[in-house]
Structure 1
Amino acid sequence: MANTDKFEMIANMYDTPERIQIAKASSDAIREYVVDAQSKNAIDFGCGTGLVGMNLLNEFKSMLFLDTSPNMINQIKQKMADLHIQHADTLCFDFEKEGLSDLHADYIFMAQVLLHIPDVEFVLSRLFDVLNVGGHLLIVDFDKNEKVVSDMVHNGFNQAELADMMTKIGYRNVQSKTFYSGSKIFMGQDASMFVLDAQK
């Protein structure tokens, strides 16, 4: 995944109060769309240090934390050991480079991950293949923000355009809403965040 090197360097300093607060808001937004999932398995895709996934562990039967950065994965392994978490696992893997045909999930969520992915449609198609029929992909990311100019990340997403792209891939029942806004939270700019739920 793009920007892995950057995340490798900041892994052990990643959990700042601001990131923890945004992760809490993100996991609360995702939880609204998680229904009756005690028998379901989930993937926290591009999990970072697991800030969002850790908040959602009790919603699912099992969870896989997946990231391209070994240092981020090591942070999660340490948290899992410290908290004696049994029903979760980790996988260090680059989804953009290799397919993972034996991986399946009922829920996949990705929080502030899509903006780091150059080929959005390609990865959303890959994730569609991983979802079980009836499963959900939940995306938390920034609304489109023209003030953000970067060659490292997308400057957010237009919810309607993203929904159209996902519908073409085959997702159905796509719904989204803005749930959070904050000062200087996106590349030094004031920004808002949305949650999107799509079903296979």
Structure 2
Amino acid sequence: MERKNFDTVASTWDEEPRRVKLAADIGAAIRDAVPLSADWDGMDYGCGTGLLTLDLAPALHSMVGMDSSQGMVDRLTAKCAATGIQNTRALCCNLEQGKLSAGPFHLITSAMALHHIPEIVPLLTSLRRLLHPGGWVALADLETEDGSFHDNQTGVFHHGFSREELEGFLAQAGFTSIAIRRATTMHKGERVYSVLLAVAINP
């Protein structure tokens, strides 16, 4: 299946209020579920323009926003420069194709990126290798939906995930202490979609 070209939407991505609200809601859910520390180095996988990255950065020692879209990475870099944020940087990298030249991390987050990944377990295994022992992942994505969330299905490989699927993926990738909760809901038109947050630890 064809991948979506996120470079084409990077410049206007933040103009959608529900995306901004969703990132803030996910950030709040992560802060509630994970004992964040000012000593931690974090990485936000599939960071886009950095809405979640920048939401969590003040609570951490450092934050890397990583995305395979150069356009998205450029937007995050520009936002950091414009606001004088010192502890955050953006990297363009596709973890499905190679290693990330950063880490290890105490925390890896992701918001609404997993459904764009064909094979989940290999990705989660790669993420776990980037974590310190005892490090956390906090991954937010759609709960299973009927395919109506995306108007354009290009690059959509999963119509959300069930709690059981997420738990199974994380266990197969070697994570422990897996916990899954509802992070928030997202309204699109007349529909309401549930967004799950899965947290787990690299033993």
Shared fold per TM-score greater than 0.5: yes
Which of 155, 165, 175 matches 2:169? 165
Q: Tell me the residue number matched to 2:10.
A: 11
2:188 aligned residue: 184
Q: Percent identity?
A: 28
TM-aligned CA deviation for residue 17 of structure 1: 1.1
Is the 8 Å Cα contact of residues 116 and 152 (structure 1) preserved in structure 2? yes
Q: Deviations over 1:73-123 (max 9, x none)?
A: 111111101111111111101111112375311000000000100111110
| 2:155 matches 1:152 | yes
Q: What whole-Å deviation, never above 9, does each CA across 1:3-26 have from its counterpart, x for those lacking one? A: 352x10000000021111111111
Q: Conserved in 1, the CA contact under 8 Å of 2:120 and 2:169?
A: no
Q: Judging changes above 3 Å, is the alpha-carbon distance between structure 1 residues 36 and 48 closer, same or farther for their aligned structure 2 residues?
A: closer
For residue 103 of structure 2, what is the aligned residue in structure 1? 103
* Contact in 1 for aligned 2:122/2:173 (Cα 8 Å): no
Matching residue's letter, 1:193: V
Deviations 1:24-69 (A, max 9, x none): 1111111112314110100011100000111111110000111111
> How far, CA to CA, are the matches of 1:4 and 1:145 in structure 2?
20
TM-score by length of 1: 0.91
Count of residues in Structure 1 that have an aligned counterpart in Structure 2: 196
Quick one: structure 1 residues 110 and 184, their matched pair in 2 at CA, closer, same or farther if it must change by over 3 Å?
same
Distance in 2 (CA, whole Å) between partners of 1:62 and 1:162 is 27
SS at match of 2:100: coil
CA distance in 1, matches of 2:95, 2:11: 23
Deviation at 1:184, TM superposition (A): 2.1
User: Which sits farther off after the overlay, 111-120 or 24-33?
Assistant: 24-33
Query: Residue 147 of structure 1: CA displacement?
Result: 4.3
Residues 9 and 147 from structure 1, CA distance in 2 versus in 1: closer, same or farther, beyond 3 angstroms?
Answer: closer
Aligned partner of 2:34 in structure 1 is 34
Tell me how far apart the structure 1 counterparts of residues 199 and 135 of structure 2 sit (CA, whole Å): 10
Q: Distance in 1 between matches of 2:3 and 2:22?
A: 20
Distance in 1 (alpha carbons) for counterparts of 2:36 and 2:181: 21
Partner Cα distance (2:101, 2:83) in 1: 31
